[in-house]
Chains A and B, each alone.
Chain A
Amino acid sequence: EDKVVQSPLSLVVHEGDTVTLNCSYEVTNFRSLLWYKQEKKAPTFLFMLTSSGIEKKSGRLSSILDKKELFSILNITATQTGDSAVYLCAVYTGTASKLTFGTGTRLQVTL
């Protein structure tokens, strides 16, 4: 059974801190890994990673994939209160018809 595990489950940091969120996976026929931010209901897309070692960056957020060790990290630098959300990691497998999600990391950024 495909499995995606995220850590930590929750995290509280002060504004300005840098955080690293982890995602490991055990799946058959890996295709790509995606990160989403979920604030209320709809997850919003952050990154899609397919190749190992290539960092993707968007503003203060960046992510990288290690296909040998089967994990990805999401970094957020200079955190702001607006970064408070649940961050979801998901993996496409097989025919890429569906995403298998982790349980998410709940990030709270305080003043």
Chain B
Amino acid sequence: GAGVSQTPSNKVTEKGKYVELRCDPISGHTALYWYRQSLGQGPEFLIYFQGTGAADDSGLPNDRFFAVRPEGSVSTLKIQRTERGDSAVYLCASSSITLAGRGSNEQFFGPGTRLTVL
């Protein structure tokens, strides 16, 4: 596609529920990133994929958070047993950087999903 797309744009859920957030990166980009942005803060890194594999998941806050990218393009961020503190904008980005370091590591961001946990 022309840019990174994310769905849904807004998600309201109740504490304890399970949610899935979807990211569709720029076509051909092998690198995909998830970030979380709380009000008044900069984005905070969650996880980085190269192709289908999670190359760095050091930013996932706990085991309630999980992300997959089964075919190396679309990615889904899954949050189990949501808590009010999970409320934030979840941003996805992609870049053309490869594991070998070829390409550009300029990251292009999607519009984000605003998650509200009541």
Residues of A within 8 A of B (CB): 4, 32, 34, 36, 40-45, 48, 88, 90, 92, 95-104
Cβ-defined contact, B111 with A34, below 8 A: no
Residues of B within 8 A of A (CB): 4, 33, 35, 40-45, 48, 55-56, 58-59, 89, 91, 97, 101, 105-112, 114
The 3 lowest CB-CB distance pairs between A and B, nearest first, are: A101-B42, A98-B45, A41-B112
Chain B residues lying within 8 Å of A48, measured Cβ to Cβ, are 105-106
Cβ-defined contact, A100 with B109, below 8 A: no
Whose C-beta in chain A lies nearest to the C-beta of B3? A42
Can you report 12 A-B residue pairs in the complex whose CB atoms are below 8 A from each other?
A: A32-B105, A41-B111, A42-B109, A90-B42, A90-B43, A95-B56, A97-B48, A97-B55, A98-B33, A98-B45, A98-B59, A99-B45
Q: Give the secondary structure class of A's interface.
A: strand
Cβ-defined contact, B97 with A96, below 8 A: yes
Chain A residues lying within 8 Å of B44, measured Cβ to Cβ, are 101
Cβ-defined contact, B105 with A96, below 8 A: yes
Chain B residues lying within 8 Å of A103, measured Cβ to Cβ, are 40-42
Whose C-beta in chain A lies nearest to the C-beta of B34? A98
Cβ-defined contact, B42 with A88, below 8 A: yes
Most buried by A among B42, B55, B97, B106: B42
Chain B residues lying within 8 Å of A43, measured Cβ to Cβ, are 43, 91, 109
